[in-house]
Amino acid sequence: MVYPLILMGVLAFFSLMPEKILSQGYADFCKEFLGVKVWYKSDTQRFSNFGHLLAYATLLLTMAFSWRLCWWQTALLALGIGLLFEVAQLLTPSRQASLYDLGYNALGVGAGLLLLAVLRPRV
């Protein structure tokens, strides 16, 4: 199935988008859709961390159900993709790689594994 590839493309787009544009986008989203005015960069960072968690949990579930991989193969692939995007940020002038982002990616993979254990029937 193509859904995991589409999601990877979306993740790559947001991972390599200039940070200034991305931060302003978070602030606008919080203001318009959540009704919260973002005053500090830390508020934007909190939303970003939740985005990493949600994105990588979704990526893991999409790969697991589309490609029928074992849970550990899916987890390693999702973690590898997160690492690849962080390395790509090292090569992008307007972005910075972060171990914190990688950690939140891993937490998202872990959350996805928990959901996978509940949603996928045992074989």
Supply the pTM of this predicted model. 0.80
CA distance 107 to 28: 26
In the chain, the amino acid numbered 75 is A
N-term to C-term CA, the chain: 21
Residue 122 has a CB neighbour count (10 Å cut-off) of: 4
What Rg, from alpha-carbon coordinates, does the chain have?
15
Q: Tens digit of pLDDT per residue, the chain (123 long)?
A: 799 999 999 888 888 877 766 666 666 666 666 666 655 555 556 667 888 899 999 999 999 999 988 899 999 999 999 999 999 999 988 888 889 999 999 999 999 999 999 987 764
The per-residue pLDDT for 31 is 63
CB contact at 8 A, 105 and 26? no
